[in-house]
Amino acid sequence: MKWVLRIGLVLVLLVVAAVVVLPMLISKEDILAEAEKQASASLGREVEIGSVSGISIFPPRLTIENLAVSSGEGFKAPNLVTMEEARIGVKLMPLLTSRSVEIDSFVLSSPTVTLETLADGRNNYTFESTEPTAEEDASTGGAPATGKIVIEDGELTYTSPDASYAATDADITLVLPPVGEPLTVDGSMMLEGVDTSVALEVAEPWAMTASQPSDLSFDVKLGGNEVSGSFNALAEPLTIRGPMQVALTDIAALTPFIGAESVEAAAPFGAIRVSGEAEATAESVSFSGADLQTALGSATGALTANLAATVPAITGELAAGRIDLRPFFPEEMQETEAGAFPEWSEEEMDFSGLSAANANLKLSAQEIVLPTYSLTSVAGELRLQDGRAAMTLSDGRAFGGQAKGSFALNGAANQPAIDAKLDFSGINFAEAGPALLSTKRLFGRGSVGFDLQTAGRSQRAWVEALDGTASADIEEGLIDGVDLSQLATTALSLISQLQGDASKVATVASGLQNLTASVVGEEARTAFDIADFDVRIENGAVSIGEAKLLTDTFRGTVGGGLNLAGQGLDMRLLLAAKAPGAESFNELRLPVSVTGTFNSPKIGIDTRPLAEQAARGAAADALGRVGIEVQEGQKVEDALRDRARSEIGNLLGGLGRRRQEQPAEPAADADDEEPSEEQPPR
């Protein structure tokens, strides 16, 4: 057993010698020079080392102080990397046998790394390998330098003409492999206060340095956002092709990079996910077979995004499922009673999301949801430019019918403005009435067209500023809440009682007033065969140019208007009814008024003409008894005036005739003449 102890003692002595004696035999000056030489060769950049403060055999390592890696010519920051201390791992045998330094790792403790990009595109962090000398080539076989670079608790800054970022708590490991093995980068940091991690693997890094393609995969996480992919990549010019996934699930974390305005603009989209076959350069990314998902909806198709623009400029063609645009508009309106028309919202609308990107897209969608209705089977084009949206609807369905037209929204204006030219045909007015005509009381099928403009920051402001025209044609419909046919028929029957008996005026007037209450109610309906109207709108006030309701036995003509802002009614109806078997309509010559509000309309009949008619009839009868006839439609005053004029004419004419019938008087003799004052009497 003694020989075992002796061997153990020898091994201990060898270890002591390796740890204590050998470092004393190695020249630090030689190692310093060799370390600078090898580091400069590895990075292709001048490396300066202040001093070698320690040499270790187990593990083989050099500890150096005051290391600096040059940025190169033309950069504001003189050094790419500076640090007070670094540990350099070296290969043991070359160090022992030839006292040469072959570096296989850098461990940079608390370094300061300054990354800089100039306006001409040059940067200080792209390393260019130096050409090996003949001696180096012979000794190394021309192989590129390999090893590992580790950054511990580093500080990184990046500056360019357009941006500046800073990172702290950086822990990064870069492995420079031998030929045929992958380059890897793994790290984490706090980038502008956002938790960030990076994982990169390049299958053939040395091929990429020779402008050859290589397979590449990466995964970058920034806050709750992630971009990953597996590509075939080319370094010069930078081009990658392959499957790519983008998941922006915490857009607020991107505020330091894209600005608060862009984050706010993107808020309605919620989490954004894009995946597909990508082709990307430093300035653009294109997706084929793209799958786009947002809180507003999802779509598939082809997309190209120009990333060099101030905001992304997107072109392509998308087929969407359901797109919900309601987040751009005020929240759900206040609760109202069942069937009641809601008050206009005064909540300010925010369309800043339209400025998140510019776009020119061909779009089809199964459904587009707006605040008050939906469009389905949509086909058209969408343009976004600097916060302005314009959609051309070449085809679509709404309210059970067809929809076509154009819609423009200027969300960038201080007062968001709308210009809409829309035509709906074959629609169900039970669905369309509340959304398009501000009424829940109209039913039937037909068409409606709009040419409208408005501007404002709330729904109420839009209504108050609304200008334009509208028209509608409806068939086989009804008006809920009032029976105008019964009103006309019963009113005509009541008025017929006045024929020959004007004393019943008060009774008939009272009956008409009671009638208006009986034809209004939840069960009341006005059925019609055809209805059409044309209106003009100015500052939210609707003027009815021509509006008609028609059936075989009832006819109505509507005039007046509506106050959209106040949801008020001020209309006048002229009604006519046809008795069974009659050939013509009998007109109700009393104007019917529709007043009140959308939720509480009021029907009234102006009975004043009845009293006037009764008084006229009584006066006409009295005048008739004295021989003065009052013609149909003639005022009593006019009849009296005409009779007086006739009598005066007759009187004057009679006097003239009598004067002509009297004999002429004989001429007076001179002797009979009376003397004048100037002629004295004879």
Instruction: Indicate the residue type of 80.
Output: L
Q: What Rg, from alpha-carbon coordinates, does the chain have?
A: 49
Q: How confident is the model at residue 444 (pLDDT cuts 50, 70, 90)?
A: very high
What is the 3-state secondary structure of 220-260? Answer: EEECCEEEEEEEEEECCCCEEEEEEEEEECCHHHHHHHHCH
Residue 480, token pair as written in the block: 């809920």
Mean pLDDT of 450-477: 93
* Cα–Cα dist 541/552, whole Å: 33
pLDDT greater than 90 at residue 201: yes
Q: How confident is the model at residue 21 (pLDDT cuts 50, 70, 90)?
A: very low
* Cα–Cα dist 522/483, whole Å: 10
Residue 67, token pair as written in the block: 């290391």
More confident residue, 418 or 352: 418
Domain of 112, in residue numbers: 1-120+143-156
Grouping H, G, I as helix, E, B as strand and the rest as coil, residue 387 is: coil
Domain count, the chain: 1
**Domain for residue 42, yes or no?**
yes
**Domain for residue 74, yes or no?**
yes
Residue-wise pLDDT tens digits, 557-588: 888 999 988 889 898 888 888 877 778 888 87
**Domain for residue 81, yes or no?**
yes
Q: How far is CA 362 from the centre of its chain?
A: 17
Q: Are 243 and 278 in contact (CB under 8 A)?
A: yes
Measured from the Cβ of residue 63, the count of other Cβ atoms closer than 10 Å reads 16
* Cα–Cα dist 381/84, whole Å: 60
**Domain for residue 89, yes or no?**
yes
pLDDT greater than 60 at residue 11: no
Q: Are 489 and 483 in contact (CB under 8 A)?
A: no
Q: How far is CA 347 from the centre of its chain?
A: 16
Q: Return phi, psi of residue 157, to 5°.
A: -130, 150
The conformation of residue 129, written as its DSSP 8-state character, comes to P
* Cα–Cα dist 173/189, whole Å: 12
More confident residue, 253 or 573: 253
Residue bearing tokens 């309906």: 525
Residue 97, token pair as written in the block: 């046998």
Residue bearing tokens 């949206």: 389
Average pLDDT, rounded, for the chain? 78
**Domain for residue 356, yes or no?**
no
**Domain for residue 517, yes or no?**
no
Mean pLDDT of 97-109: 68
Q: Are 424 and 451 in contact (CB under 8 A)?
A: no
Residue-wise pLDDT tens digits, 128-153: 654 445 454 444 444 445 678 888 99
Has this prediction a pTM greater than 0.85?
Answer: no
Give Cβ neighbours of residue 75 (< 8 Å, ≥ 6 apart): 116, 118, 124
Can you name the residues that pair with 4 across neighbouring β-strands? none
**Domain for residue 656, yes or no?**
no
* Cα–Cα dist 377/411, whole Å: 26
Residue-wise pLDDT tens digits, 627-669: 556 565 555 456 556 655 665 666 565 545 555 555 555 544 4
**Domain for residue 152, yes or no?**
yes
- Least confident range from 313-322, 364-373, 507-516: namely 507-516
Q: Return phi, psi of residue 603, to 5°.
A: -105, 135
Please report the pLDDT score of residue 376 as a whole number: 93
pLDDT greater than 90 at residue 206: no
Q: How confident is the model at residue 422 (pLDDT cuts 50, 70, 90)?
A: very high
